Amino acid sequence: MDMEAPKGAQSVARAALLMRLVTAQGERGGARAPDLVTESGLSRPTVHRLLSALRAEALVDQDPLTGRWFPGPELFLMGSVAAERYDVAERSRDIVHALAQETEESAFLSMRRGDETVCLVHEDGAFPIRSHVLSEGVRFPLGVASAGIVILAFLPEDESEEYLARHDLVPRWGAAHATAPLRTRLAETRDRGFSLNPGHIVEGSWGMGAAVFSPAGRPEWALSITGVEFRFGAERRAQLGRILLSHAHELSQRMR
């Protein structure tokens, strides 16, 4: 028999969802209330009530001129304390920088957070034409962006299959994310060691990712690069893959 959820758990989960959505939009000029309603699937009154409660606790803040929502000062204080234990970003920043320098593409570190990845570190490379699909705080479901594909690929098979059974990615992300083609991409990723996203999120914007493993051997993070399609020909993809894997191995060793 399933245990009954603690009283108030639904409200906590909904509030946490809104904080994640607000945080993801923070660097994009803030989150609009109608967008939060759409993305959360909650009713407008519920979103308004929860945002008001979160603002009262300084967990979110609202710009009085635009009405857009931003992470609040209390989140900064909490994050400062949590960083002492979880600050993977600082440990990886020089490696992300080196990856951007060597490939000349935009480079990222993403972390697995439940059934999603969240971008923690971003650095642009020297090539002047860039893809802007990813930046700090942006989240994607596992199996969508290149970071989430490679993490899902290297999870134990039973866990990846459970994930595929729980989620239907097609309504939001399109037919390329149906279970059958996604399974094919996961198998290809395991075979070559790194993932490839050939414009499945935004047409013409390609990405590649390599898993970073915890001391327990689990794919908890991923290094990735993104750029425009013509920069990802077959020969260069192989070269970029070797560079990605080298830097991911270095970071995995550092995490141990």
23-34 pLDDT, tens digit per residue, is 877 666 889 999
Range scoring the smallest mean pLDDT among 8-12, 39-43, 120-124: 8-12
Is it the case that residue 5 has pLDDT exceeding 90? no
Phi then psi dihedrals of residue 250, to 5 deg: -60, -45
pLDDT of residue 83: 63
Please give the torsion angle defined by the CA atoms of residues 2, 4, 55 and 64, in that order, rounded to the nearest 10 degrees: 60
pLDDT value of position 162: 94
Ordered domains of the chain (ranges, CATH): 9-79 (1.10.10.10), 87-255 (3.30.450.40)
Percent of the residues in the chain that have a pLDDT greater than 90, as a whole number: 68
What share of the chain in percent tops pLDDT 70?
91
* pLDDT over threshold 50, residue 153: yes
pTM assigned to the model: 0.71
pLDDT in tens, 165-206: 999 999 999 999 999 999 999 999 999 999 999 998 888 899
pLDDT at 135: 78
